[in-house]
Every structure is written in C-alpha cells, then in structure tokens.
C-alpha cells in the first residue's frame, strides 16, 4: 500500500485506476467532455481517456473556461473519479465545487502535501478520500491491473 | 470555514443570506476559492471581466440560470467575454437551433445581472479599462495577462463561475497577483539577435509568447531586449500575452522598458531572485512558429483567420493598409469586438478589408463556434492562441504567419512565407 496525504480542495470520495498526466492540461480546448478524452493536439497523451480514472497531474493550464468544461463532465459522468494535483489549481477545484453545488455530484480534488511524490504506476487502483481537510490518497500497487 | 480566513461583517452577512440567495451562493464560492488559495482575507475589486457567458455545456447555463433566478446583480462594472453567437451577423454561426437558444439564454442571463454587452476577449481595448494599481477580477486568460502586464492592474487567474461571483460580491481573495510579493519576475527571457524588422511585427511577439509560456509555466517571466513603445505597441503585447497564456499558465509578463512595473529588470524582479534565464534568438522564433504550425510554405490553404484576441482599432489600420486593393481568394475572417468594429467602420478601415473580401466576425471567435466551413483546408492565422487551440477545437491544420503573410496567402490561396522577415537557418 502507498499512502499519500494532501489537502482537500473539493470534497468527495473517488476510486479508480491511476493515470498520470505527463504535462499540464487545459480542460477547455484540451479535453473532450463528450468522450472524456484528452483532445489537446500538443499533449503527449492526446486520445487517452480520463473518465473514471484517478488523474494525477501537476496543474491545469491556459484557458479560464476550464471550470465549466470540468463541471459539465462531472455532470454527464465523463470526468475523472478524482484529480490529484501537485500544485494548487483553483480553476480545477472550482469546476468540482460548482458541480457539487449545481448537481450534488462530488469529484474530489486534492493537492498533495509539499514533497510528496506521486510515483504511482498507471493502472494501479487508487482511493481518494477527501471528506476531511486532510485528504488521504491510497494506492494498492498489487491490485488488479487493467 | 477555515479559521484563518478573516471576513468582514458584510462578507459574513452575504454568506449568511442577508443579501439574498444569489449573494450567498456567490460568497460561498468566493470564500471556498479563498480557502483553496490560502487567503487570509478578501479585498474590494473595482471591475470584473466575465468568461462564464460562453456556452459550452449545461453546467455553465445551469449556473447562470441559478443566479438569474435568484435575481443576482453585479456590484462592480462588469464586461462580458466572447459568446458562442455573433448577434450582429447571426448567419455566420452554424449552430443548431437548440444550442443557439441555450447560448442566447446564457448570454441574456448575464445581461440580466447587469453586465455590459461587450462580448469581447479584449476588454482592455475599451476606453473605460482599469487603471494602474486597480484591484480587479478578470477572467479570459489573455485579458488577465494583459491587465496585469500592460495596464498594471491586479488580477489573479479567474475563470468561469468565480468571475461572476467576485462581480456579485465585489470581493476577491487577497492572494497571488493581487499582492506585491507575488508580482516579481522569477524567470528572465533575453531576446537577442532578432532583426528589427521582425521585432516590429507582432508575429515575433506571438512566437516569443509561445516560448515564454512553455518555459515559464506558472512563474512570472521578464522579457529583456524588446524595443520600447511605440515600436512595441499594445498589439505586440497582446500577441505575446495571449500566446504565453495558451502554451503556459502565465498571468503577468514584465517587458523591460515597456510595461509599467518594469522600468528596469531590477524593478521587475523586486525582492526575490531569478530561478533561470532563457536566451531567445531568431532561430528560436522560427522554431516556435513551425512547432505550432502543422503545414509549411506552399501548402494550399482553406481560409485565413485574424483577430484572436479581438482585432483592435490600430489592428484595423494595419489590416486596411496591407489589404487595400487586394482580392482574397479564400475566406478571410476578422474577429473583433462590436465596439471596435463601430470605430473601424467610422474610420473606413473595416470597409477596405471587406472590399478585399474579409468577413467581420463579432461577439465570438472563429475557433470557439462553427463559422469556418467544416473540413476546410489549412487555416493561416497571425495568432499563436488561435493556432494553439483550433487544431483541437475544430480539427483543422494551421500555420502561424505575420499579418502581411496572412494577406498575401489569402490572395495566393497558398501559404506564403517572407524569408526576409524571418531570416533562415542556413
């Protein structure tokens, strides 16, 4: 078991297979909310599906339209199961906060404690518990792989 | 509520619902954002620029409806960003009736809240723009960088939802670029050896901006080595700001000797130190141009799109002087704000461009809503931001070019490169 701690930016519990984004992503103009895939043609992981995954990423990028793209993805069910950041990103948290306000659907957003590394292999099952101020990210490297 | 967020009595009254449901919801979002960012208090803002009026799914519309139905009103002068529709030229936008109706409802909801129908991504082109030192809450990534860098106003990177919540409450979290200590440059870009003629063209600044955004990420950059005003004009800075906010999360660029907080490099750095220096030469500009272009010289093109961010009055003057007497062989779109278009119409510059075959697009932009024909050949643009987003938004091939190259390409129907402008690697 790998246990990481972080700070809850948007509350909730999420479970899914880990997926690490190698570069920051702008949800507007970089993520297709219908298919849940990375659509940014400049991103090394263009075409990768984020739906239902616990997405580890440094931070977002660029466009200020990202919150509503993410909120809509949470609404229609194409969003990640949780987002784990290494830098605070209010835009990403906002998308989740507003989806919770509007639709009562929670997608946790967590920023890892400084110095925590998130070297979790893609496909490893992860649970993000962001029900308290201190969030817990629990990965089971021996869990079932895709 | 985090114990370390100190709210005023009025903030608390809003949160409690004393000022109504809309103010309560807005203050809830503002205080949650403040907690996320680690703010100790909120500060008063003098204006807002709101991005949330652009329809791209139910969430944005549902949020606007919720605020409208609760009779929300903005507390500070608030401008509106581009929408998904062109209300002046509705025939240009090929959205289905249902989507159009929802896009319109979202726009109308923001008007009902008291926002101004500016419908532009370049609110800084308005005569009533913020002044040096003003605390503001602006959304739209290019406008954020421009306001911080060129106007010397102070805004964090606001986006959908939080923008209108700040406008309704008149308050914003006192963090980041609102505060002196976060405005110092931490990475320096030294522009060296770029010929004067290229540096006089905003396409150079677009290319520099792409490099700055890629290398600076979310750090505050300083750019050394650009000519002073008027050679470096607001249109040059606009091109750089928009590019850096596309390839990175840059929200403030100090252009040494040009922008108001950067009379010298030392002044721009302030109390702190620089983490790294990056040299930028002519070969780097060509490389950036080519890295973000998907087709090369000679390629047949399907259209040209200029004015992202929206074409300014000065931009129209340049466009008119270059397009006068020409005839475009492919569709040529000029994205602009309705207020700027009115001035350009009065000045006759819009008419010159239209006589050459240009189509005016207002209230929206060709890369966010279907204007350009589906399946069209490569699109040439003078905008790094357009070139960054259009391939993913529209599925088109793109090429970045100077305005003059855009016009020559439109006349020829193929991508024209001015090697004398860019120089060569050989």
> Is the CB of residue A122 less than 8 Å away from at least one CB of chain B?
no
For B164, what's the count of Cα atoms within 13 Å in the CB-facing half-sphere?
36
Which chain A residues have a beta carbon less than 8 Å from that of B156? 90
Helix (H) / strand (E) element for A5: namely strand A2-10
Q: Rounded to a whole number, what is the distance in Å from the CA of B168 to chain A's nearest CA?
A: 16
Contact of B246 with chain A, judged by CB distance below 8 Å, is answered with: yes
Tell me which chain B residues have a C-beta less than 8 angstroms from the C-beta of A67: 159-162
> How many interchain CB pairs under 8 A, A with B?
121
Task: Calculate mean pLDDT across residues A65-70.
Answer: 90
Contact between B37 and A97 using a beta-carbon 8 Å cutoff: no
Q: Cβ–Cβ of A64/B218 closer than 8 Å?
A: no
- Express each pLDDT in A9-30 by its tens digit: 999 999 999 999 999 898 988 9
CB contact under 8 A, A72 and B159: no
- Determine the pLDDT at residue B131: 98
What confidence tier does A144 reach under pLDDT thresholds 50, 70, 90?
low
pLDDT in tens, A119-131: 899 999 999 999 9
ipTM of the complex: 0.91
Residue A18 host element (H or E): strand A12-20
Q: Split chain B (426 residues) into runs of 10 and give each run's mean pLDDT.
A: 82 97 97 94 98 93 98 98 97 96 98 98 96 97 97 95 97 97 97 96 98 92 95 97 93 98 97 94 97 94 98 98 98 98 98 98 95 93 95 93 98 96 83
Q: Which of B162, B388, B393 sits opposite A94 (nearest CB)?
A: B162
A33 touches B: beta carbon within 8 Å:
yes
Nearest to B159 among A59, A67, A87 (CB): A67
Give the pLDDT of residue B1.
47
CA dihedral (B399, B294, B248, B275) in degrees, to 10, reads -100
CB contact under 8 A, B60 and A72: yes
In the annotation, is A26 catalytic? no
Catalytic residue among A26, A39, A51, A63: A63
Name which of B57, B106, B163, B288 to mutate to probe chain A: the one with the most chain A Cβ atoms within 10 A of its Cβ: B57
């Amino acid at each position: 078991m790998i246990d990481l701690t972080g700070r809850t930016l948007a509350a909730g519990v999420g479970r899914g297979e880990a997926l690490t984004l190698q570069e920051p992503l702008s949800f507007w103009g970089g993520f297709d909310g219908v298919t849940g895939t990375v659509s940014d043609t400049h991103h090394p992981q263009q075409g990768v599906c984020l739906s239902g995954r616990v997405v580890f990423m440094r931070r977002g990028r660029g466009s200020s339209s990202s919150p509503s793209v993410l909120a809509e993805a949470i609404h229609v069910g194409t969003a990640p199961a949780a987002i784990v950041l290494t830098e605070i990103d209010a835009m990403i948290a906002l998308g989740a906060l507003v989806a919770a306000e509007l639709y009562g659907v929670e997608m946790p957003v967590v920023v890892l404690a400084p110095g925590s590394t998130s070297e979790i292999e893609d496909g490893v099952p992860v649970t993000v518990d962001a029900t308290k101020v201190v969030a817990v990210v629990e990965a089971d490297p021996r869990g079932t792989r895709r | 509520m985090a114990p370390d967020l100190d709210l005023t009595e009025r903030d608390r009254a809003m949160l409690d619902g004393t000022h109504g449901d809309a103010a309560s919801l807005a203050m809830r979002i503002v205080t949650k954002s403040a907690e996320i960012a680690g703010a100790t208090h909120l500060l008063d803002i003098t204006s807002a620029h709101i991005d949330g009026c652009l329809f791209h799914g139910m969430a944005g519309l549902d949020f606007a409806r919720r605020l409208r139905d609760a009779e929300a009103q903005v507390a500070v002068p608030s401008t509106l960003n581009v929408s998904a529709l062109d209300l002046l030229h509705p025939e240009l936008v090929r959205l289905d009736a249902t989507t159009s109706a929802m896009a319109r409802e979202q726009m109308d909801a923001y008007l009902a809240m008291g926002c101004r129908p500016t419908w532009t991504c370049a609110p800084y082109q308005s005569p009533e723009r913020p002044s040096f030192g003003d605390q503001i809450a602006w959304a739209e990534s290019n406008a954020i960088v421009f306001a911080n860098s060129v106007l010397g106003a102070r805004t964090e990177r606001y986006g959908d939802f939080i923008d209108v919540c700040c406008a309704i409450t008149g308050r914003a979290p006192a963090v980041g670029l609102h505060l002196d200590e976060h405005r110092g440059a931490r990475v320096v870009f030294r522009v060296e050896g770029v010929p004067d003629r290229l540096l006089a063209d905003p396409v150079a600044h677009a290319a520099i901006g792409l490099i700055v955004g890629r290398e600076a990420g979310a750090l505050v950059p300083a750019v050394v080595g650009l000519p002073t005003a008027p050679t470096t004009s607001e249109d040059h800075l606009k091109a750089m700001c928009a590019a850096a906010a596309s390839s990175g999360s840059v929200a403030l660029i100090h252009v040494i000797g040009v922008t108001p907080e950067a009379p010298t490099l030392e002044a721009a750095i302030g109390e702190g130190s620089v983490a790294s220096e990056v040299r930028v030469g002519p070969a780097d500009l060509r490389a950036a141009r080519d890295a973000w272009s998907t087709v090369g010289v000679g390629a047949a093109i399907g259209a040209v799109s200029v004015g992202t961010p929206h074409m300014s009055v000065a931009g129209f003057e340049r466009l008119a002087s270059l397009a006068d007497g020409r005839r475009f062989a492919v569709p040529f779109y000029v994205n602009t704000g309705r207020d700027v278009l009115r001035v350009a119409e009065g000045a006759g510059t819009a008419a010159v461009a239209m006589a050459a075959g240009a189509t005016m697009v207002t209230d929206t932009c060709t890369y966010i809503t279907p204007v350009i024909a589906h399946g069209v050949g490569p699109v040439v643009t003078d905008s790094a931001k357009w070139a960054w987003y259009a391939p993913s938004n529209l599925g088109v091939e793109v090429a970045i070019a100077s305005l003059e190259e855009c016009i020559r390409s439109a006349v020829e129907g193929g991508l024209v490169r001015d090697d004398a402008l860019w120089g060569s690697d050989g």
